[in-house]
Amino acid sequence: MQLLFALLALGALRPLAGEESHWCYEIQASNYSCLGPDRWQEDCQKSRQSPINIVTTKAEVDHSLGPFHFSGYEQRKARVVENNGHSVMVLLGDEEISISGGGLPARYRATQLHLHWSRELDRGSEHSLDGERSAMEMHIVHQKETGTSGNEAQDSEDSIAVLAFLVEAGPTENEGFQPLVTALSAVPTPGINTTMAPSSLWDLLPPEEELRHYFRYMGSLTTPACSETVVWTVFQEPIRLHRDQILEFSSKLYYDQERKINMMDNVRPLQHLGDRSVFKSQAAGRLLPLSLPTLLVPTLSCVMAGLLR
């Protein structure tokens, strides 16, 4: 009889132990027995982690950071969208979508895109620029193609390239994003997928000519196992969605099958930059407002005229 009670006790503990070993975001950790960001394991405690705050004035110009070459981004397809319990993900792995250029050492093939967000419009992005966060952040994840560079080592520090786009609230609806926003209602809980209306990746992004301004650093995945194998590109030009579109992510998606916790604040806290450097393409950086240079020209002209008298 004592043995039976012991076995029952062990059986009761196993699900709890499983929950406690599963990683989650802080909003989940406060409601369930799971590992919040400060307790993430594997590589998550190493020194070259992501996301980071990018101080734009300290980023070093790297002249090798030229324009990207986007292949397959124009393809209009009906893609699978799924709620994976941590975010909403669009699957791209079966398609011929890739990037090269942009200072990358090889060609990288797209595997998926996903987003991070909050109900607050200034705390939903993982990266921040000069201490300011945005409403959302979208990541397009790419895997290095073999045979496209001289270094074919597996799990190298540049085996993954992530394009990060900050998302801000704008005055009008973003029609290109609407197929994904509409699909959210069909994937409310983890493990569910649907097919969104046909669209292209360019429908989700700013115009290509606006993507020449970006920041670059070496970091990690922002979810466990936090592998330090990522070439990060954070674009300066944001995506703009209407506020109502942004809030659909928090209201339509849930972390749990019981729909007790809305999926929001799926954001890893900022990590220390340490001894890493952040680089920028030649044109990247905070630009002066148009009115200021306009005022400076006549002012400097008057000063020069005075000096020449």
58-77: average pLDDT: 98
**DSSP character string of 230-281:** EEEEEESSPEEEEHHHHHHHHHH-BSSTT--SBS----PPP---TT---EE-
Higher pLDDT, 49 or 21: 49
Which residues belong to the active site?
86
CA 53 to chain centroid, in Å, comes to 13
For residue 222, the model assigns a pLDDT of: 98
For residue 152, the model assigns a pLDDT of: 54
CATH 3.10.200.10 holds for 44-285: yes
Helix or strand (DSSP H, E) at 12 = helix 2-21
170-215 pLDDT per residue, tens? 999 999 999 999 999 999 999 999 999 999 999 999 999 999 999 9
For residue 282, the model assigns a pLDDT of: 85
Residue 11 has pLDDT above 60, yes or no: no
Whether the Cβ atoms of residue 11 and residue 4 lie closer than 8 Å to each other: no
Residue 227 has pLDDT above 50, yes or no: yes
CA distance 220 to 228: 4
Report the share of the chain in percent with pLDDT over 70. 82
CA distance 98 to 72: 7
- The predicted model scores a pTM of 0.85
Residues in the chain: 309
Whether the Cβ atoms of residue 227 and residue 155 lie closer than 8 Å to each other: yes
Please tell me whether residue 137 adopts helix, strand or coil conformation: strand
Distant-in-sequence, close-in-space partners of 178: CB < 8 Å, separation ≥ 6: 245
Residue 300 has pLDDT above 70, yes or no: no
CA distance 43 to 268: 14
DSSP state letter for 75: -
* Domain spans, the chain: 1-39, 44-285
Mean pLDDT over all residues of the chain?
Answer: 88
252-265: average pLDDT: 97
